[in-house]
Structure 1
Amino acid sequence: MITKEEIIANFDPNAPGVSGNLFGLPFNNDNAELIIIPVPWEVTVSYSAGTAEGPEAILDASTQVDLFIKDIPDAWKLGISMLPVSEKFKEENQKFRDLASRYIKWLEENEEEWISDDLKVIPTTINEVCEKLNIYVRSQALKQLEKGKMVALLGGDHSTPLGLISALASQHDNFGILQIDAHADLRKAYEDFTYSHASIMYNALEKVPQVSKLVQVGIRDFCEEEVEYINQSQGRVVTFYDEDLKNAQLEGDTWAAICKKIIKNLPKQVYISFDIDGLDPKLCPNTGTPVPGGLEYHQVIYLFKQVVRSGRTIIGFDLNEVSPGEDDWDANVGARLLYQMGNIMAVSQGKLSFTA
């Protein structure tokens, strides 16, 4: 068997990569340090679809990512690999997505209270299949964690990482979530779907008691119910609204100073949940629910690196809501985010190092 050291010695990171491999890297699921779980799922998406195509689009775009990171020069040597995307998985997603769409259409267009029996059972059916998804993701994550791997999830819509968060909770008694997002995602059973993409943080807080803190950054689309939840959380949820971030910068605050305020609210162990619509929409125009405003690419990378430089450990992460569109631009951005996040997490766990 060829060792990882031999693989590294025989690979030229400046040449074209290995076709079909994530980032063109020469690693597989056995010798990679970081395993990406792809979850092409968007059953409860309520606006524009396409995020289920995200994992494969990012895989395709990833071979165009240059592997050298200036302050993590050995980044490519870590070993990153993605589990295969199941065709059966994609078929199930489409089947239940069509079913959920029928119910959402009825909610949006039907002015009468009457509902047919076949429509009435749809929320229960969708909730049950999403629960099975959570169990599947949790089992896949635990399998890799038990092998000593770092694990991240690539969606799909933002409902997908609950199983990974639950798996990490079996190994960590206390951790915080750093959420990059345009939306608060604190709705309870949005559109009657318990595991809605708009409810992921509500579910993480309510179903995973090991999550001691939720720090939200870039939030700019939310309802009164979510603001009340934040205000009544007794400090468990801290929200940095995008408008307030922009106002602070306009009044002279530097991004470095703002990042210190954000990080101060995080515990020592941090999970990052990244909905790509947290970025300025010019970087993700095809995402399901783009919102004006948002963060720049280098702002979030700087924030993540400062989290690590503060001495905190990133225990896992997800990247969601990447819908490639016709030009694959969003996947191009998503692939670069995925590469950066994976290597930044590795630095936090002592598997790579920042340069001085």
Structure 2
Amino acid sequence: MVFQDEIIKWYKDNKRDLPWRHTNDAYTIWLSEIILQQTRVDQGLPYFNRFLAHYPTVADFAAATEQQILKLWQGLGYYSRGRNMLFTAKIVMEMHNGIFPKRYDELIKLKGVGDYTAAAIASFSSNEAKAVVDGNVSRVLGRYFGVEKAINSSEGKKEVNALAQSLIEDQPASVYNQAIMEFGALHCKPKQPLCNVCSLQQSCYAFTHKKVAVLPLKEKKIKVKERRFNYFLCLDGDKILMRHRSPGDVWQHLYDLPLIETTGLESNEENSLQKQVSDLFGKNASYRLLDQIKHQLTHQIIYVQFFALDNYIVNFNKQAEIKWVSEEELKTLPMPKPISVFLKKYVE
């Protein structure tokens, strides 16, 4: 009980004042939890505020179009979250009479809601004793209790989940779950944890065994894939040629520019790019480099080049996914961050 008591005491003294901590409304909590998946609080907070302002109820969210949701989501990454949210909002309207579920066993059935998110919503909205286990919680438990299995392995996850659930029994679930998450985020950090001022140091396995820098153990990450995107800027008066990305790849259903992807493996990649430009935009087409960036995704690094295209012919038969877009329509299109940043710099 000492561990839980100290965690809760620390939380009451150190917690951040965040808007979703002032409500037990399941919809609002769901909104915050999905937005904060894979996203830092300082980055996600403005998005949470915008979404809640635009869609104060689940009915408002369900009435939106996918394009509207993705446009508001633009820049946040992991766009499938936004699409799943829209699907879930519609299901809540159809299957739950517009009342967002609060019980774990109902929440876990919703699209885009996994164990962690279901436990968070259930505990924060109705105090259900379901333990949340995210990266912060796994790190705290891995260090304090000396979990020797890799916390991202199947066996390690089972051990941490069981430990977390055992600790929440007979606790005020909402407060305790938020406390241990916050403790991991602000105090027991991945790097430079505040061990010297920690009230748990003498009972912490990692601290007493000098393993703070070692625990928790993790299996090696998946190898990062490298890709090369070559984008082409085509303007016609106040119109710009845009491309609608198809399913099955990064940024699906978002809009970018006409694209040629190269592998970087050809002995003469420039000649390969020139040939593909000629095939798609005519033999007289020429291009000049405007900008280059490196864009990091979770399992991919995309090296992006932007070119201005001249003397080209638009062959819509070869590129059915492209279309001319007016300046006004461009403002409504959801785009990957590299594209929106580029267009603000070179077009707007």
Question: Normalized against structure 1, the TM-score is what?
Answer: 0.25
Question: Normalized against structure 2, the TM-score is what?
Answer: 0.25
- Relative contact order, higher structure (CA 8 A, sep 6+): 1
